[in-house]
Amino acid sequence: MFIRSTKTGMASLVLAMLFVTPATAQTPDANVIASLVTQVQELQDEVRSLRGQVEDQANELEKLRERQRDQFLDLDQRISGQSSPDMGSNTAQETATDPVVESAASSGVSTGPASDMPDVRAPMDTPSDTVALGTPEVQSQAVAANPAEEKAAYDQAFRSLTDLRYADAAEGFQAFLARYPSSDYADNAQYWLGESYYVTRNYDIALDAFNDLLSKYPDSSKTPDALLKIGYTHYELKQWDQARAALEQVKQQFPDTTLARLADNRLRSMRMEGHY
């Protein structure tokens, strides 16, 4: 709209200058006409340049929107448990074994897809009060299992994540893992510990947490999710080769799943951005 109005205004100006001549002249001077033509051409070149800049900005905005959409799909669709039917046993096992689901069921609370996972926000554009998260100073002190206390400790950390209190969540999950390293909830706690760091853009610590899940709990139902997040975290750290390797691994090991689609979306963004 702005460019069109500018061109219309320039055309009107040129016509006025061509036909409104001084009283002492009957026809426009050839040099004046040539100068006006040159100015028109320069203005047209400038308009084309401005149009190109607008198109470049529009393309860049679209890339940012795609990237934000991918992150939202991951931190909303996956965390909220809304996955495709092709997810198969991974999704079913997650729903069946997540301690929060069991806790809700035992207390009479609805355990639909929206209630068994926290609504974790996408990574923030600006640093928050919890961005400078560090590894909590927690000494390992495994104790005899007390099912009620164990579940309460996990639920408390998980509730902090649900309430978007990421520093408290990180400290809670770290303390839980130190106190109950052999818990049935340990792999879940390890994954959500990584998420609490990732969402606050503490990518180096998040990467360590997700890698720990793969090494300590290779049979966990959270392994596919952690592998996807490893790819995402390498991407945020601008470690393109490692990001591509992890995302390709997700596609190969978990084909025809929501995880594979998310990995493919990020790989496509990387290609468009010229990272490989």
Would you say residue 276 has pLDDT above 60? yes
Provide the residue range defining the domain that includes 199: 98-118+128-272
Query: What is the distance between the alpha carbons of residues 164 and 275, in angstroms, rounded to a whole number?
Result: 33
pTM of the predicted model over 0.75: no
The answer to whether residue 186 is domain-embedded is yes
Q: What percent of the chain has pLDDT over 90?
A: 46
Question: Is pLDDT larger for residue 26 or for residue 222?
Answer: 222
The answer to whether residue 52 is domain-embedded is yes
Would you say residue 96 has pLDDT above 60? no
Structure-token pair, residue 68 = 């934000």
What is the total count of domains within the chain? 2
Q: Say what the pLDDT of residue 87 is.
A: 36
- The CA dihedral of 200, 203, 204, 210, to the nearest 10 degrees, is 100
Q: Tell me the three-class secondary structure of the chain, residue by residue.
A: CHHHHHHHHHHHHHHHHHHCCCCCCCCCCHHHHHHHHHHHHHHHHHHHHHHHHHHHHHHHHHHHHHHHHHHHHHHHHHCCCCCCHHHCHHHHHHHHHCHHHHHHHHCCCCCCCCCCCCCCCCCCCCCCCCCCCCCCCCCCCCCCCCHHHHHHHHHHHHHHHHCCCHHHHHHHHHHHHHHCCCCCCHHHHHHHHHHHHHCCCCHHHHHHHHHHHHHHCCCCCCHHHHHHHHHHHHHHCCCHHHHHHHHHHHHHHCCCCHHHHHHHHHHHHHHHCCCC
Would you say residue 127 has pLDDT above 50? no
172, HSE (Cβ side, Cα atoms, 13 Å): 25
Structure-token pair, residue 40 = 């028109």
158 and 43 in a common domain: no
Q: Say what the pLDDT of residue 187 is.
A: 97
Question: Is pLDDT larger for residue 178 or for residue 113?
Answer: 178
The answer to whether the CB of 226 falls within 8 A of the CB of 213 is yes
Query: What is the distance between the alpha carbons of residues 269 and 106, in angstroms, rounded to a whole number?
Result: 43
103 and 44 in a common domain: no
pLDDT (tens digit per residue) in 230-270: 999 999 999 999 999 999 999 999 999 999 999 999 999 99
Q: What is the mean pLDDT of residues 48-56?
A: 78
2 and 111 in a common domain: no
103 and 51 in a common domain: no
Confidence category of residue 116, pLDDT binned at 50, 70, 90:
very low
68 and 39 in a common domain: yes
Q: Is 29 exposed, middle or buried (0-12, 13-18, 19+ CB in 10 A)?
A: exposed
Query: What is the distance between the alpha carbons of residues 157 and 159, in angstroms, rounded to a whole number?
Result: 5
Dmax (CA) of the chain? 108
The answer to whether residue 84 is domain-embedded is no
Chain position carrying tokens 């997540």: 98
Q: Which range (16-20, 150-154, 168-172) has the least confidence? A: 16-20
Query: What is the distance between the alpha carbons of residues 104 and 115, in angstroms, rounded to a whole number?
Result: 9
Question: Is pLDDT larger for residue 266 or for residue 104?
Answer: 266
Q: Say what the pLDDT of residue 58 is.
A: 77
Query: What is the distance between the alpha carbons of residues 179 and 220, in angstroms, rounded to a whole number?
Result: 19
Q: Say what the pLDDT of residue 9 is.
A: 57
212 and 155 in a common domain: yes
The answer to whether residue 123 is domain-embedded is no
CATH number of the CATH domain containing 220: 1.25.40.10
The answer to whether the CB of 251 falls within 8 A of the CB of 263 is yes
202 and 112 in a common domain: yes
246 and 211 in a common domain: yes
145, HSE (Cβ side, Cα atoms, 13 Å): 11
Question: Is pLDDT larger for residue 140 or for residue 180?
Answer: 180
220 and 108 in a common domain: yes
pLDDT (tens digit per residue) in 188-219: 999 999 999 999 999 999 999 999 999 999 99
- Work out the number of other CB atoms within 10 angstroms of the CB of residue 56: 10
Q: Say what the pLDDT of residue 234 is.
A: 97
Would you say residue 100 has pLDDT above 60? no
155 and 265 in a common domain: yes
